[in-house]
Structure 1
Amino acid sequence: MMMNRRMFTGALVAGAAASLISTRAIAATPAPVKARNVVLLHGLFADGSCWSDVIARLQAAGLNATSVQNPLTTLPDAVAAAQRVLSRQDGPTVLVGHSFAGMIVTEAGVHPNVSALVYVAARAPDADEDYTALAKTYPTPPASAGIVFDGDEGRLTEAAFLRDFAGDLPEAKAKVLYAVQEPFQKALLTGRTTQAAWRSKPSWYAVSTEDRTINPDLERFMAKRMGAKTIEVQASHLSLISHPDEITGLILEAAGQRS
């Protein structure tokens, strides 16, 4: 039976639409695995207590939260510390990293207990990528000029901490955080990830639009490259402290607790 031109055109359109729907279905991010465990990793100039406001909200939502005290010595040391905590979890676990800890998430996130990854204004390198070289393709953020070293031990000056790291926090609170910042070793900055967990695990990313520690456009690039579900928070580098509701909401989504 012969098709007229209108019928033939309609069939082509219908076929193209079906193909597009099929492609979108394949490309869609799978529904997150329901998880009740969250492991949180801190970055430079901080310690595990920086997650306190988020932890309280996660616990109120019925989740088991653990903040790792990262040894800021070498990347392998930090990854090993995260892996020990991940191994103690009793099922699917969301692994969350802030700032430098994105390096740890990217490496340790292949652990079988990890069901999803969340990056909060964090580094997200590819396997064996030179993150420093990548960062140099964007304007240098102001905080970089505030890093000082005592031998091999690095930290932020108080002025840079208050202005460029915690710029949207009340000064009194930022000064308390400055007082407990954990120094890091120069060797930590030379480490490279050997794998990229975001290539095999569903990922979420919170960009800090007012970030003066990591360039926000670099954050956007890394989030887009990994295909992460992305939100933008009008915050300093410390969005986990200045905007804990938004960051907690993102983690709960990655844990399958909300859509």
Structure 2
Amino acid sequence: MTTKDVSIVLAHGAWADGSSWGRVVTGLAARGVKASAAPLPLTSLAGDVAALNRSIERMPGPVILVGHAYAGAVIALARPEQVKALVYVAALAPDEGEKVADVFYRAEPHPLAPKLAPDANNLIWLPDDAFAKAFAPNASAEDRSVLAAVQRPIALACITVPAGRPLWKDVPTWFLLAEQDHMIIPATQRFMAERMKAKIRSHAVDHTPIVTAPGPVIDIIHDAVQSVARN
């Protein structure tokens, strides 16, 4: 198998959409790696897993799943047949029986983290000022304005349902730890990464390096691609 035989499926987190992976997609393409961004509805954990599985089915051969933030919970529940590795980018990784909210609120939040609450429709929106304070503080003003404008709310049902057995117990896993994360504190990320026995790459990046620092994200995905291709 060569690296060209491996496909990447990228899963966006809460308050984002597939366009957040744009710089990662083009960076991987420059290395000869094909990637597709799965559109997640963010309406329920089960619905997001089903949407991810539909994207996996469109890819030929072995697949590596990459999840940012909330999507770490989603990639771990995907149909396993084609999945050869997982890559977490400042992502959440609940164990079997845990809820996304359990790991997200495991420790005291960062002082700049936004206070989150569902609206009348049980949807959680990110306050506009949170994009600069916590979500992507290292982004340009232009990038932050786009992120805020296209944000997609996450339903309460995504984070309050116990997860099933995660794939990270069965396949190789990589974890990009964001040292400057104001949304998911680094200590929580390290706890999850070490529990998964993931290959950890720690970088001085914010919560959304897929936008603000795509280089380390591309590098860790490429590491996973090369490892899967060798096997």
TM-score normalized by structure 2?
A: 0.92
Is residue 33 of structure 2 the alignment partner of residue 63 of structure 1? yes
Residue 195 (structure 1) shift? 1.1
Moved beyond 2 Å, runs of 4+ = 32-36, 130-137, 141-150
Q: Distance in 1 between matches of 2:226 and 2:50?
A: 27
Aligned to 2:198: 228
Letter in 2 for 1:41: A
Q: How many Å apart are 1:64 and its aligned residue?
A: 1.7
In the alignment, is residue 78 of structure 1 matched against residue 48 of structure 2?
Answer: yes
Q: CA RMSD in A?
A: 2.0
Per-residue deviation, residues 101-134 of structure 1 (Å, max 9, x unmatched): 00001111x5211111000000011111234334
Aligned-residue offset at 1:243: 1.2
User: Match for residue 108 of structure 2?
Assistant: 139
Q: Which residue of 2 aligns with 1:207?
A: 177
The answer as to 2:151 corresponding to 1:181 is yes
- The residue number in structure 1 matching 2:87 is 118
Asked if 2 retains the 8 angstrom alpha-carbon contact of 1:107 and 1:196, the reply is: yes
Partners of 1:98 and 1:120 within 8 A in 2 = yes
Q: What is the CA-CA distance between 1:183 and the residue it aligns to?
A: 1.3
Distance between the aligned counterparts of 2:169 and 2:188, measured in 1?
18
SS of 1:70's partner is coil
After TM superposition, list the pairs within 5 Å mapping 1:91-170 onto structure 2. Answer: 91-108=61-78, 110-142=79-111, 144-151=113-120, 152-170=122-140
Q: Is 1:44 matched up with 2:14?
A: yes
Higher mean displacement: 224-233 or 185-194: 185-194
Bigger share in helix:
1
Contact 1:86–1:111, Cα closer than 8 Å, also in 2 = no
Alignment of 1:248-259 (within 5 A): 248-256=218-226
Q: Which amino acid aligns with 2:109?
A: T
Is 1:54 equivalent to 2:24 in the alignment? yes
Cα distance, 1:144 vs structure 2: 4.8
| Letter of the 1:113 counterpart | Q
Partner of 2:163: 193
For the residues of structure 2 that align with 1:217 and 1:135, how far apart are their CA atoms? 11
Question: Which residue of structure 2 lines up, in the alignment, with residue 240 of structure 1?
Answer: 210
Secondary structure class of the residue paired with 2:66: strand
Question: Which structure: larger Rg?
Answer: 1
Paired with 1:209 and 1:33, the residues of 2 have a C-alpha distance of 33
The aligned amino acid for 1:229 is K
Residues matched between the structures, number: 227
Alignment partners' CA distance in 1, 2:138 and 2:187? 19
TM-score by length of structure 1 reads 0.82
In structure 1, runs of 5+ residues without a counterpart are 1-31
Identity %: 34
Q: Which runs of no fewer than 5 residues in structure 2 stay unpaired?
A: none
Tell me if structure 2 keeps the 8 A contact 1:142–1:164: no
SS at match of 1:39: strand
Q: CA 1:142–1:41 in structure 2 vs 1: closer, same or farther (change >3 Å)? A: farther
Q: Measure, in 2, the Cα distance between the counterparts of 1:231 and 1:133.
A: 24
Matches of 1:158 and 1:243, distance apart in 2: 21
